Structure 1
Amino acid sequence: MTSKTNTSVSNSPDVLKFIHTADLHLGSKFCGISGMNQDLAKKLSKATFTAFDNIVSHCIDNKVDFLLISGDIYDSADRRIYEQLEFRRRLAKLSEHDISVYLAFGNHDPLSGWSAKIDWPSNVNIMSGNNPECHFYESGGKKKAAIVGISYKQSKTIVNLTKYYPEKDNSWPFTIGMLHCNLGTDTGHEPYSPCSVKDLTDKNYDYWALGHIHKPQIIQKSGPAIVYPGNPQGRDMGESGARGCYIVTVSNGGITQTEFIETAEIKWEKISVNVSRIPDENDLIKEIENVIQKIRRNSGDKPTFLRLTLTGRSPVHSLLSGDGVTDDIIRHFRDEEEENSNFVYLEKIIDNTEPEIDLGKVAEREDIVGDIVQISDSLLKDEDKLQSVRLKLDDLFKSNKGKKFIENLSDDEMEALVKEARTYLLDRFVGGDSK
């Protein structure tokens, strides 16, 4: 969504407006997509840059005072000169509109990494890696914001950097802390600069502009505001949903609006469809067509990668379990979408359908088929038993080879795995026979 500028407010000398972004990952590669044509591959290769172009345009259109970028501008410590030159070109465009930029480098682009000796535009302020430093944004001869930040010296910065940040001085105006960090625990990200909400609150700042977590989220709205903008362009199905940045308006020293703006050039969507009422392959194809058209209508003319999960006890289960069937359906829809500029690219179909059998009746059988249902039901109803299965899989997930390719299963994924195993066995022992 785009933001609307309130002209009467924005002309006030007491109003401050800025955009907060992070995790641009310029030049990042998109993985796991097969069967792409040349035009699509080219669009993907430019997507992270296009997303940043959208941020630059929002800065100019909304006449913001400055742009904050909280780390991971590039995707690699050994950043290529192409990414650096393209990044500088976009910053120079902001300079032409008198928009300041504040940069704090993160774990993907630490100061220790190779960097070309490129002169930055005069509007760019880079945080050092020695200690947090304070920059004052001034307008009309008045200090309107204090911006405190630090860049990573090394990629694996695992110390809590907040302990080095100064507390807000009484003489400072609206104060912003910039930090690339892991807030709290169990975020699914590497624990770089781990810290707590209390660590941030104790500094008495007004806004914490964080980076590192790719999902956009406002941790708290005030006292202070703590915000992760997420990455402006999702790069795989793990980064589905809205992606963008935040535009923040400050009036008389307090935040009056924090608005999320979508910037992604390409979207990733996960959709689950219950097909229990679908009788045959013709209706299944029609249902998938309906899903694709709905996504297209809601995409804002942006190309979308779709992962479709089919669920429910359905007559089409036996069809879908046939060799190569889902691959053929995927190929059909990819061919259909090839000429659309706002295509919906069917990335994968996950078949979680089940045969049309009465599990309760099957569970009463005194044979191996009954045992399959009884054991799976027992696992799904007893958390301790389910965890015992997880422990048996630990060697697979913790091995040096395994952990490179697979992540630990969540509780929902463990349950799905049990159900999938049950369906696989019932297909082979029972098929559609519920007797």
Structure 2
Amino acid sequence: MGVRFLHAADFHLGSQLAAGRGESTDHDETLESAVYTAVSRLFDLAISERVDFVIVAGDLYDTDSRSVRANAFLEEQFARLAEREIPAYVCYGNHDPVADAPTYVELPETVYEFDHEAPEEFCFPNADAPEARIWGQSYRDRHESRSMYRRFTPADDRIPNVGVLHTGLNPDGRRYVPVGRRDLAGKDDIHYWALGHVHDARVFDDEQPIAYPGVPQGRQITEPGPGGALLVELDAAGSCEMEFVPTSPVVWRSVAVDVGDESISSIPDIERHIERSVDDLAATTDRFDGTSVSVRDPEWEVDGYVCRWTLTGNGPVHETLGADPEAVYELTRRLRRTLAGRRPFVWTEAVRDETGPPIPAIDDLRGTDRVIDEFLALADEFDDAARDRFRDEVGMLWQPVDDHEEGRPDELALTDDRLDELVDRARERVLGELARRRAD
């Protein structure tokens, strides 16, 4: 016997996109309503796919004050499920803990809210003829230190058992439900762990899937790519099929643009060069490489992209941008004006200048100076094999931070590609500085 359900989390209703808008645009309404649009699409998906039930693993609201609009919106969305006899199982997380939380509108009876004092079991469709059990527990307050999972105790494993937790998977933490991935994997009587709290969609294929659907709509540059939810087919024999379905109307992109060419020297030159990069913004996701999760081709149309352009390279444009403190601001203004009219629209969140002054080609520098030759020899030793050894030695220190609440707002995890990029950029900067000082 199996069930089919939608696993979602981290709606953060009541929050806005941090898109850096200082002036009114034609896309204000799209940007301001993006979070609500994405969540509405989740409910559309549950209805069109005729799922057995929906799980929401915490942080439905962005703050524990729970806005009236958000509460009324959820009542309407859950009522749509109720009309089709689709129950929903909801736990609350650190942004919307249960203690002292105001309730402006009551949710339908088909919404089963997990208690915050002790773990609770709900049976689908009912306790008399259960086809699945759903275990969970809500947060009592914002910093929940109880690990909770130990008390998820299904009677047997003859039907699918699902565990619902809002956790950062940090067993050493003192908040956000401290528990380790190994701890959850050791619960053999739970067939699927439906998690929330981490905003990046990810799935761990252990003895049973341990999954985060991520946010349905990214709200800042640290939540890039399309957001969505997981469509899950599960049975008690251990068979599980998972599909990530995108829902976000607005997609965040962080784009590095090399403007080091000699032909690029003015702000209009940079603008034209960036415009040529826009065609590469297609909303795809590679988050599930190496897992059994498939990614559905987006059936919805992306309304727009919010981009941070990082300018790189060594060339004359470095002096152009550095000569006037308003140069980057002017470039940002021009990009917002020219790209916002595209379909889908492209809104510029920010422009970051990481360019460097022009430097001679490496081959032209060899043999010209002893210090430069020594540096090039040292840099040449850090080849691909050396980088692989470095990764092996550093190990887990460079793994992505699991809990966004513990990281800095502008912190990005160091991937293999980003490590290569940083090494290459460091080499160029040191070489450029050496060449400049030798020339002086």
Quick check: TM above 0.5? yes
Residue 239 (structure 2) aligned to one of 255, 258, 262? 255
- TM-score, normalised via structure 2 length: 0.77
Residue 328 (structure 2) aligned to one of 315, 326, 337? 326
CA drift of 1:128 comes to 0.2
- Matched with 1:386 is none
Alignment of 1:371-386 (within 5 A): none
- Matched with 2:195 is 210
Q: Is the contact between residue 27 and residue 45 of structure 1 (CA under 8 Å) also seen in structure 2? A: no
Alignment of 1:396-435 (within 5 A): none
CA drift of 1:22 comes to 0.7
- Matched with 2:279 is 293
> What is the DSSP-based 3-state SS (H/G/I as helix, E as strand, rest coil) of the residue aligned with 2:354?
strand
- Matched with 2:401 is none
- Matched with 1:192 is 176
Between Structure 1 and Structure 2, how many residues are aligned?
Answer: 395
- Matched with 1:356 is 359
Identical-residue share of aligned pairs (%) = 27
Deviation track 1:294-321 (CA, whole Å, cap 9, x = no partner) reads 3268794331011122323334333333
- Matched with 1:170 is 156
- Matched with 1:267 is 251
- Could you tell me how far apart the structure 2 residues matched to 1:260 and 1:267 are? 16
- Matched with 2:339 is 337
Q: Is the contact between residue 81 and residue 115 of structure 1 (CA under 8 Å) also seen in structure 2? A: no
- Matched with 1:85 is 72
- Could you tell me how far apart the structure 1 residues matched to 2:98 and 2:112 are? 14
CA drift of 1:120 comes to 1.9
Please state if 1:102 is matched with 2:89: yes
CA drift of 1:280 comes to 2.3
Please state if 1:180 is matched with 2:182: no
- Could you tell me how far apart the structure 2 residues matched to 1:287 and 1:120 are? 51
Please state if 1:61 is matched with 2:48: yes
> What is the DSSP-based 3-state SS (H/G/I as helix, E as strand, rest coil) of the residue aligned with 1:321?
helix
Q: Give the 3 Å change call, closer, same or farther, for CA 407–261 of structure 1 in structure 2.
A: closer
CA drift of 1:197 comes to 1.9
The aligned amino acid for 2:278 is I
Structure 2, unmatched stretches of 5+, are 285-297, 388-406
Deviation track 1:364-395 (CA, whole Å, cap 9, x = no partner) reads 7699xx8xx89x98xx9999xxxxxxxxxxxx
Please state if 1:134 is matched with 2:124: no
Q: Give the 3 Å change call, closer, same or farther, for CA 359–171 of structure 1 in structure 2.
A: closer
The aligned amino acid for 2:308 is R
CA drift of 1:24 comes to 0.6
Q: Is the contact between residue 127 and residue 133 of structure 1 (CA under 8 Å) also seen in structure 2? A: yes
CA drift of 1:276 comes to 3.9
Larger displacement relative to structure 2 (93-102 or 272-281): 272-281
- TM-score, normalised via structure 1 length: 0.78
- Could you tell me how far apart the structure 2 residues matched to 1:420 and 1:28 are? 40
The aligned amino acid for 1:175 is N
- Could you tell me how far apart the structure 2 residues matched to 1:404 and 1:173 are? 42
- Matched with 1:4 is none
- Could you tell me how far apart the structure 2 residues matched to 1:105 and 1:236 are? 22
Deviation track 1:99-119 (CA, whole Å, cap 9, x = no partner) reads 110000011100114312532
Q: Give the 3 Å change call, closer, same or farther, for CA 337–68 of structure 1 in structure 2.
A: same
The aligned amino acid for 1:135 is F
Residue 140 (structure 2) aligned to one of 134, 138, 153? 153
- Could you tell me how far apart the structure 1 residues matched to 2:409 and 2:185 are? 38
Q: Give the 3 Å change call, closer, same or farther, for CA 126–275 of structure 1 in structure 2.
A: same
The aligned amino acid for 2:340 is E
Q: Give the 3 Å change call, closer, same or farther, for CA 268–423 of structure 1 in structure 2.
A: farther
Q: Give the 3 Å change call, closer, same or farther, for CA 364–131 of structure 1 in structure 2.
A: farther
Please state if 1:70 is matched with 2:57: yes
Larger displacement relative to structure 2 (260-269 or 323-332): 323-332
> What is the DSSP-based 3-state SS (H/G/I as helix, E as strand, rest coil) of the residue aligned with 2:239?
strand
Structure 1, unmatched stretches of 5+, are 1-13, 384-402
